[in-house]
Amino acid sequence: MIEAKPMRILLVGAGGVGGAFTAIAARRDFFETVVVADYDLARAERAADAAGDRFVATRIDASDADAVAALCREHAITHVMNAVDPVFNMPIFDGALAAGADYLDMAMSLSKPHPQTPYKRPGVKLGDEQFAVAGEWEEAGRLALVGIGVEPGLSDVFARYAADHLFADIDELGTRDGANLVVTDDDGVEIFAPSFSMWTTIEECLNPPIVWQDGEWHTTAPFSEPEVFDFPEGIGPVECVNVEHEEVLLMPRWIDCRRATFKYGLGEEFITILKVLHTLGLDRTEKVLVKGLEVSPRDVVAAVLPDPATVGPRMRGKTCAGLWVTGTGKDADGNPTGPRSTYLYHVVDNEWTMAEYGHQCVVWQTAVNPVIALELLATGVWSGTGVLGPEAFDAVPFLDLLTAYGSPWGIREQPAAGG
């Protein structure tokens, strides 16, 4: 048994989600200190200074596992919180283990499409690199809690709750994400400005989506199986399409279900832009030579768009993350009650997060979940070793804390045939 230590967190990444993380964590007392690390020291300093005395800033090269380990040792870090693009997952993940720290992330290690049949069979799946070394984490007595943002993350907590408390038998675990967010320029004209990392959005939207069906994973074409889902609290109907996402890789590992899907409400304009980027090769991560300089086309696209951390004051609307579960319901005694179709969801209003925390709603909704998970780990309510998803833990304490943080979740019975 490893003796519990005061929690000392290394936060890698002080962008939109990292900045929201510090603002949320600053109001809680379960940790001793947070070391905010970013390749841009000034950005780390801004996030740390805004959060108070328990936060300190430093610079880090997130691509260097040895640098991550060294920083962990220097600051006696107990938990590494990864808040950067998933291209850096493995060096941060490996550095945490080398330093004897626990680890959390909000997106798993990257996939690689199947070289011959990318739209039928998966190649390297999301998280495969991390799950491949789960034994090493178990032997070290350390925990890697992967996919603990909002999606993946809260949606996976919803899956655990549904399996434990609502359903005797699950047909489909269907993550459904939608919003009615609008961003305007200084003149009030609506503009294209993604509310989350464009690098990550391109990765997950243009890769072959993955589906769990009858005991195996298969892939399909990007933007496949469109459906209109009616989102709650005034968001309304949004067309959703298949997108590659971690829930489909996580949920079936711990929860029995016949099918698992992830569909995202992208909208026609966003889908068109993504298709054009792909056609022009601007989604590529491999560097190309431009006037003597090597640059990644995808990095350029991300750089020329507004920083998601800065669009909050010009954004309005709500975002919804949720899980649509179908199957056979059960009563409080666990007895089957017949067909059930239920949507568990979390809606966040940008007006509220900006007024309350000074951060836009999408990054705030993502950041609140790892803060809650860290608090549950610090208090011993959650514990474990190895590489685990949120489904491996009791959902009730998490959902209770989410409400206690001032952002309650909801539940809605669905028409059996659709949203």
Q: What is the pLDDT of residue 46?
A: 96
CA distance 227 to 242: 9
Helix (H) or strand (E) holding 200: helix 198-206
CB 236 within 8 A of CB 230: yes
Q: What is the pLDDT of residue 278?
A: 84
Q: Which of 229, 225, 227 is nearest to 179 (CA)?
A: 229
CB 166 within 8 A of CB 342: yes
Q: What is the pLDDT of residue 418?
A: 45
Q: Going along 13-166, which residue ranges are E strands? A: 33-38, 55-59, 79-82, 102-105, 143-145
Q: What is the pLDDT of residue 67?
A: 97
Q: Which of 146, 151, 171 is nearest to 90 (CA)?
A: 146
- Token reading at 373: 């998970």
Residues of the chain with CATH 3.40.50.720: 8-145
Burial annotation 314-332 (CB, 10 A radius, 16+ → b, else e) = bbbbbbbbbbbbbbebbee
> CB 285: neighbour CB atoms within 10 A?
13
Q: What is the pLDDT of residue 202?
A: 81
Instruction: State in words which class domain 8-145 has.
Output: alpha beta
Q: What is the pLDDT of residue 225?
A: 94
> CB 165: neighbour CB atoms within 10 A?
12
CATH of domain 154-359+408-413: 3.30.360.10
Q: What is the pLDDT of residue 419?
A: 43
Q: Which of 264, 298, 68, 62 is nearest to 179 (CA)?
A: 264
Residue 46's identity, in one-letter code, is R
Q: What is the pLDDT of residue 193?
A: 65
Q: How many CA atoms lie within 13 A of 376 on its CB side?
A: 25
φ/ψ of 89, rounded to 5, equals -55, -50
Q: Which of 370, 387, 411, 384 is nearest to 34 (CA)?
A: 370
Q: What is the pLDDT of residue 2?
A: 46
Q: How far is CA 35 from CA 51, 66, 184, 312, 368, in A?
A: 11, 17, 34, 25, 18
The end-to-end CA distance of the chain, in Å, is 47
* Residues of the chain with confidence (pLDDT) below 70: 1-4, 191, 193, 195-196, 309, 312, 416-419
Residues of the chain with CATH 3.30.360.10: 154-359+408-413
- Token reading at 182: 């609008």
CA distance 37 to 21: 13
How many H helices and E strands in the chain?
14, 20
Query: 357-397, pLDDT tens digit by residue?
Result: 999 999 999 999 999 999 999 999 999 999 999 999 999 99
Residue with tokens 């993946």: 152
Q: What is the pLDDT of residue 190?
A: 74
Angle of CA points 220, 106, 153, to nearest 5°: 75
Write the CB contacts of 61 (distance below 8 Å, at least 6 apart in sequence): 39, 67
Helices (H), 211-259: 247-254
